[in-house]
Amino acid sequence: MDAEFAANAAATAAIFGVFGMAWFGWAQEAPPKAWRPWLGAGSVLSLTAAVVGGIVTVRTWDEGSSVDDRTGPIFGVIVLIEVVLCAAGAIWLRRTGRAPLVPAWIALIVGLHFFPLAPLLGYPALAIWAALVTLVAVVSVTVARRYDLTPSAVVGAGTGATLLIGAVTALVHALT
């Protein structure tokens, strides 16, 4: 389930840490007051994972990576498709008066984009994080409505926590 190369696991920790911090930040748009310290702690822990992951990536990059002349361009196309779908969906949701659903839409696309990356990068654990982020996206709006919360709070906290756990897991793999 682990990445073949330590640099890939470390880079995953760095990327998940950065985006975990962003999701915890988005959750702070309008969360219940009791959530704020936890969201702040999640942001700080995510930032820590990002920094440590970045340092380990730099230190292990020469040991090999699954990103090469073949996988690099495919990776780029997958990320480009992700960005275009996120932007197009966000614009459409805003124009149709459904702006509160934007975080769930973006989390859905983020989760789905991990599925093709798992086999491409030879990192099966990405499929687990793909499934979890996708699940958060799918259930977040229902949970938000059921408990009278904003979708951004639910999807931000859920996606942030998922990415933070993924970052820590990847970092442990990179360091062992």
pLDDT value of residue 1 = 55
pTM as predicted: 0.94
Tell me how far apart the alpha carbons of residues 122 and 87 are, in angstroms, rounded to a whole number: 28
pLDDT value of residue 67 = 87
pLDDT value of residue 2 = 62
Share of the chain above pLDDT 70, in %: 98
Tell me how far apart the alpha carbons of residues 67 and 164 are, in angstroms, rounded to a whole number: 23
Q: Over range 82-95, report the average pLDDT.
A: 99
Q: For 91-130, how does the pLDDT look when each residue is reduced to its tens digit (9 = 90+)?
A: 999 999 999 999 999 999 999 999 999 999 999 999 999 9
Residue 76 has pLDDT above 80, yes or no: yes
The answer to whether 1 touches 47, Cβ cutoff 8 Å, is no
Cβ of 25: how many Cβ atoms within 10 Å?
16
Q: Over range 47-55, report the average pLDDT.
A: 98
Structure tokens at 143: 């949970």
Q: For 164-174, how does the pLDDT look when each residue is reduced to its tens digit (9 = 90+)?
A: 999 999 999 99
Tell me how far apart the alpha carbons of residues 152 and 89 are, in angstroms, rounded to a whole number: 16
Q: Over range 139-168, report the average pLDDT.
A: 98
